[in-house]
Amino acid sequence: MLRPEVSICIATTRPAGLVRLLDSLARQKLPPGLGIEVVVVDNAACEASRAAAPAWRGPGPLRRCEEPLRNIAAARNRAVDEANGRWLAFVDDDETVDEAWLAAYLERARRGESDGFFGPVLPRLEELATPWLAPELFYSRPRHPTGTILGRADLRTSNALVRAALFQGRRFDPSYGRSGGSDTELFGRMLRSGARFEWCDEARVVEWIPRGRHRPRWLARRAFRGGVVWTRIERAGAMERSGRRGVVRALGAGLLLAASLPLAALAGRRALLRRWLRLCTQAGHVWAHLGRDFEEYAPDANEAGGGS
């Protein structure tokens, strides 16, 4: 059997989302002769997920396996271990891919200039919960012109294509398996070792936001978690032993943001929420500098494919 060019790696806990994602992958418009495989790692085994593989009618084989340890990093590592492709593509189980998603990545990859590529994740609502909470304002992520060289802040498994060779001797850190951030941390290590990553704006995916996430409270939780995870990664990279200076800086920034909340309220609830989310992020920085963690993906939570 010839080695596939691309292994599409999916860590999943959401059967309905997995079915929707696989349906979009089956409609990929691929270059002639391209060999691909799909690797599904089930991190919360159930009958609906087991039925997804036999129902697969897309290009290339689909292999499903189970990772019993409820840990998103462990599930991603299992996918890497199972994959045979020269390139590993990553996408989350709450997303769907554009028909030209993989072809757009491969067009850039075949130029041989970069070791990995990342693309836009466009938010869409499954169901409206908070009418004034516009997805384009609160759920969108930064986009860049195609070819832009990327730093760590833009690197996630929610939409990526990375050389398999970069995973030799490297894996996602399981200590981030409950908080999220194992993808940003690993790709950051790759950057420090000399890898080159670039943006491909034509490789688009859609993230489907369920009703339960279309609420200010969920956004505040995400902002707090983001602050915790980013500080953990920063401190690990700098090998810091004390977070005292970091606590002081984060507290100072948080106090300034808190003082500005009444003024932001005068500009309306959207402006107030944006300022509040920044304050939640600073609170996460403080929490992490104090040596504390935050579990987003609890063992009984149905969130392992959340894309962090």
pLDDT over 70 percentage in the chain = 92
**Per mean pLDDT, which range of 44-48, 98-102, 204-208 is the poorest?**
44-48
Q: Which of 155, 305, 119, 135 is nearest to 218 (CA)?
A: 135
- Specify the pLDDT at position 263: 81
Q: Which of 6, 131, 132, 185 is nearest to 79 (CA)?
A: 6
- Specify the pLDDT at position 50: 80
- Specify the pLDDT at position 157: 96
Confidence category of residue 235, pLDDT binned at 50, 70, 90: confident
**Per mean pLDDT, which range of 24-38, 96-110, 250-264 is the poorest?**
250-264
Q: Give 98 or 293, the one with higher predicted confidence.
A: 98
Q: What are the CA-CA distances from residue 38 to residues 49, 63, 89, 91, 111 (Å)?
A: 14, 6, 9, 11, 24
The mean pLDDT value for 216-228 works out to: 95
Q: Which of 178, 187, 211, 218 is nearest to 43 (CA)?
A: 178
- Give the largest Cα separation in the chain, rounded: 65
The mean pLDDT value for 239-243 works out to: 51
Q: Which of 56, 58, 63 is nearest to 1 (CA)?
A: 63
301 has pLDDT over 80? no
Q: Give 50 or 31, the one with higher predicted confidence.
A: 31
Q: Compute the distance between CA of residue 274 and CA of residue 180 in angstroms, rounded to an integer.
A: 22
Q: What tens digit of pLDDT does each residue of 133-162 get?
A: 999 999 999 999 999 999 999 999 999 999
Q: Compute the distance between CA of residue 80 and CA of residue 186 in angstroms, rounded to an integer.
A: 13
- Specify the pLDDT at position 259: 81
111 has pLDDT over 80? yes
pTM of the model: 0.89
CA atoms within 13 A on the CB side of 131: 0
Tell me the backbone φ, ψ of residue 76, rounded to 5 degrees. -65, -40
The count of other CB atoms within 10 Å of the CB of residue 194 is 7
Confidence category of residue 118, pLDDT binned at 50, 70, 90: very high
Q: Compute the distance between CA of residue 3 and CA of residue 85 in angstroms, rounded to an integer.
A: 6
Q: Compute the distance between CA of residue 35 and CA of residue 17 in angstroms, rounded to an integer.
A: 25
Return all residues near 12 (Cβ < 8 A) that are at least 6 apart.
Answer: 18, 40, 41, 42, 43, 44, 49, 75, 93, 304, 305
The count of other CB atoms within 10 Å of the CB of residue 291 is 10
The mean pLDDT value for 195-211 works out to: 97
Tell me the backbone φ, ψ of residue 198, rounded to 5 degrees. -135, 165
The count of other CB atoms within 10 Å of the CB of residue 2 is 6
Return all residues near 36 (Cβ < 8 A) that are at least 6 apart.
Answer: 4, 5, 6, 7, 8, 30, 59, 60, 85, 102
* 65, β-bridge pairs: 41
The CA-based angle 27-30-31, given to 5 degrees, is 165
304 has pLDDT over 70? no
The mean pLDDT value for 202-225 works out to: 96
- Contact present, 294 and 221 (Cβ < 8 Å): no
- Contact present, 171 and 80 (Cβ < 8 Å): yes
The mean pLDDT value for 262-290 works out to: 89
Query: End-to-end distance of the chain based on CA atoms, in angstroms?
Result: 33
Give the mean pLDDT of the chain.
89
